[in-house]
Amino acid sequence: MLVADSGAVVDGVFTSPSESSVPGLPEDKQKAVAGFVRLRGAMDALGITQMEQRAVWRVLAAIYHLGLAGACKVGRKQFMRFECANHAAEALGCEFEELNTATFKHHLRQIIEQVTRRPRRPGLEDEETSSGLKMTGTECVQGMAAGLYQELFAAVVSLVNRSFSSHQLSMASIMVVDTPGFQNPRHQGQDRAATFEELCHNYTHERLQLLAYQATFVSTLERHREEGVPVPFDLPESSPAMTVAVMDQSPSQVHSAAGGGHGDARGLFWVLDEEVRVEGSSDSVVLERLRVAFEGTGVDTEGTAVLRTCEQPLHFEVSHQRGRDPVRYDLAGWLRRAKPNLSAMDAPQILQQSQREELRSLFRARATLSPVSRAVAGLEPTSQQALQRARVVRRTFAGSLAATKRRAPCVQIKLQVDALINLVKGARLHFIHCLTSAPAVDSKRGQGCPPPQQPGGNHPGAGEAQALDVPALRVQLAGGHVLEALRLHRAGYADHMALGQFRRRFQALDPPLMKQISASTEGVDERKAVERLLQTLDLEEQAVAVGHSQVFLRAGVASRLERQREQLAAQSLVLLQATCRGFLSRQALKKLKLRRLAAQCIQKNMVAFLAVKDWPWWRLLGSLRPRLSATIGTEQLRAKEEELAGLRRKLEKSEKSRKELRQSTELLESTVRLARVGESEAEIQSYVIRCTGNSALKKSEITNPTRVDQSRK
């Protein structure tokens, strides 16, 4: 909720017709003002400048005035209140016509793109330019507001990343992924169906649970099987994969088991993306396709259906938490949500071409980035981690380039979660399961009646100690495979590391082996070294297992070995610390002695000065010293002048000798040049004489050929 005094933040951008006509005006203004002050304090703490803050307020004010402007529901698409639209244009730093064109007149941009772009295949062009569902005026205004807020959110994320980023090379970093968690209206005591936004939150939650399932069970058992280490544990039969497939199963993932024999079992996001480009399609068609594809598919061994249609029209139920906690969704209006909003696509251009300098400087940096997705923020190359995130996101979105070019909202949701999962996979994963006892959920079908709202708070039983809801905890424990993970942790090997890493880490516990490896000039056989080290450590046979390339340890074994190594190295570390502290203490003592000597010298001089400062001859010396210093300065100046005169004489002598040397050099060069000319003339004369003789001989041979022939005979 945006509340501010007119002109308190920026010049008049929050002007409204009257407080009584403003929708959503909060009743407690003091609380809102206090929250706004805290917000500004947080922005100052993050290093966000005043110009950047003014840009943020202007975009928020434009969104506020766009909400007041509205759109005409009858006739052509235009703003209902032109005064509010003018305020929005003024806040954005653009003309009213420019804002009106970007909000309503999308066909002009499409015509320009069709004229200027290169010719392509007809099928691809029809696919990208298909209009699908028509947009109303209200949807255009909402799209412009959503586009502005999306760009503002990306800018704020960039500012926050800038305050935390560092240009230094980091050796390690911690990344925390905190999602809203599982959303179910019944948990809040609300008798309604879940919305599309709650479906997106639940989809993200299911994807993270699927990642935890794969990392905890699938990858662990696969690693043990590859290393030849048997584990008495069977893979859980149910997983979140089937629930995830209901939402994002792509055409390439379709198989006979997923669709119950149907050949086109695509997930909800892909069905919405396809049906939104079909003229005359509706939400009921989407629900029918989902029903045919997934209604007969079970999510667990008990036969719980992963998807079930409800009695209410356009309502369906998805079994989340491995079928323990189903959620009812209302599909009405989802097809319209899946259509790309052209007004939202024009919002970045409005901000980047604004006449306001603060808006241009804040949003122009985002224009230089490759727009893989308008909803992805934080891709600016401000740090090493940001470059890694950008590389992972671009690689993920490159897999669905056609959907990215169409700006398909549903497919972009899936791609964003894919990018998050791919980014998290490259790290060392640690899953934290947050359990709550507040929801009143029926353990069978989740249809338990929630307790009534208490008058003292927003949640049931506010102000009182809530009773522990055991069925709800069981549902959460079963949905997250917590108990199965604990059984695998106890039955299997909790820690594993490579043979070389294990040897280097714990070879200090076997000094003879350590000396032998240090003295060896050849390569180390890691397997033999590890087996010898394990014999020395005298561990239980079931506590450790050696595979082909890794060592597997039971829970607690690695920590026990770490404590033994620390105890062994503690004595050496104590001696090292004592030596370092002794050296530092001696250095500090030397500094203290030097400072003490300097202080004593200063004290002696001060005592001598205080003893003679009142003597008459000292006063006489104090009065004569400035004059003596002036005389000494005059003598020094005279000496410097004499030295300068001597240097000038030396310079003149050197200039004179340099001129003489130059003249002699020129004379020698002219002599050498004349000698070379004489030699060349003599050579030319001798050559002329030889040529003359040869020519005379040739002439005589030509005039007397008979004599030449006789002489040859």
Query: Whole-angstrom Cα distance, residue 154 to residue 366?
Result: 9
Give the per-residue pLDDT at 124: 42
Reduced to 3 states, what is the DSSP secondary structure of residue 593?
A: helix
Question: Closest by alpha carbon to 551, among 529, 523, 521, 578?
Answer: 529
Q: Which two tokens stand for residue 493?
A: 């090997």
Helix axes 241-248, 283-294, angle to 10 degrees: 150
How does DSSP assign 625-667, residue by residue?
A: HHHHHHHHHHHHHHHHHHHHHHHHHHHHHHHHHHHHHHHHHHH
CB 260 within 8 A of CB 287: no
CB 385 within 8 A of CB 173: yes
Percent of the chain with pLDDT over 70: 81
The tokens 């000039």 sit on which residue?
Answer: 521
Give the per-residue pLDDT at 435: 85
Q: Does 356 have pLDDT greater than 50?
A: yes
Q: Does 90 have pLDDT greater than 60?
A: yes
Q: Which two tokens stand for residue 152?
A: 């503002």
The arithmetic mean of pLDDT across residues 669-689, rounded, is 86
The arithmetic mean of pLDDT across residues 642-664, rounded, is 92
Question: Closest by alpha carbon to 8, among 31, 30, 36?
Answer: 36
Largest CA distance in the chain: 150
SS3 string, 495-532, reads EEEEHHHHHHHHHHHCHHHHHHHHHCCCCCCHHHHHHH
The tokens 């791919």 sit on which residue?
Answer: 422
Reduced to 3 states, what is the DSSP secondary structure of residue 551?
A: strand
Query: Whole-angstrom Cα distance, residue 237 to residue 302?
Result: 11
Give the per-residue pLDDT at 302: 63
Query: Whole-angstrom Cα distance, residue 308 to residue 323?
Result: 11
The arithmetic mean of pLDDT across residues 154-164, rounded, is 86
Reduced to 3 states, what is the DSSP secondary structure of residue 367?
A: helix
Reduced to 3 states, what is the DSSP secondary structure of residue 315?
A: strand
Q: Which two tokens stand for residue 342?
A: 């052209």
For residue range 256-290, what is the model confidence (pLDDT) as tens digits?
A: 344 444 456 788 998 998 888 888 888 899 999 88
CB 165 within 8 A of CB 364: no
CB 382 within 8 A of CB 168: no
Q: Which amino acid is at 358?
A: E
Reduced to 3 states, what is the DSSP secondary structure of residue 402?
A: helix
Q: Which amino acid is at 237?
A: E
Long-range contacts of 43-48 (CB under 8 A, 24+ apart): 46/159, 46/160, 46/163, 47/162, 47/163, 48/159, 48/163
Give the per-residue pLDDT at 577: 94
- Residue 214 pLDDT grade (very low, low, confident, very high; cuts 50, 70, 90): very high
The arithmetic mean of pLDDT across residues 505-522, rounded, is 83
pTM of the predicted structure, to 2 decimals:
0.70
Higher-confidence position of 648 and 460: 648
- Residue 200 pLDDT grade (very low, low, confident, very high; cuts 50, 70, 90): very high
8-state DSSP, 607: H
How does DSSP assign 43-103, residue by residue?
A: HHHTT--HHHHHHHHHHHHHHHHHHHH-B-SSSSS-BS-HHHHHHHHHHHTS-HHHHHHHH
Angle at 560 between CA 554 and CA 564, to 5 degrees: 145
The tokens 């069970």 sit on which residue?
Answer: 217
CB 410 within 8 A of CB 273: yes
Percent of the chain with pLDDT over 90: 22
Give the per-residue pLDDT at 709: 56
Cross-strand pairs, 92: none
8-state DSSP, 467: P
Angle at 257 between CA 253 and CA 259, to 5 degrees: 70
CB 291 within 8 A of CB 316: yes
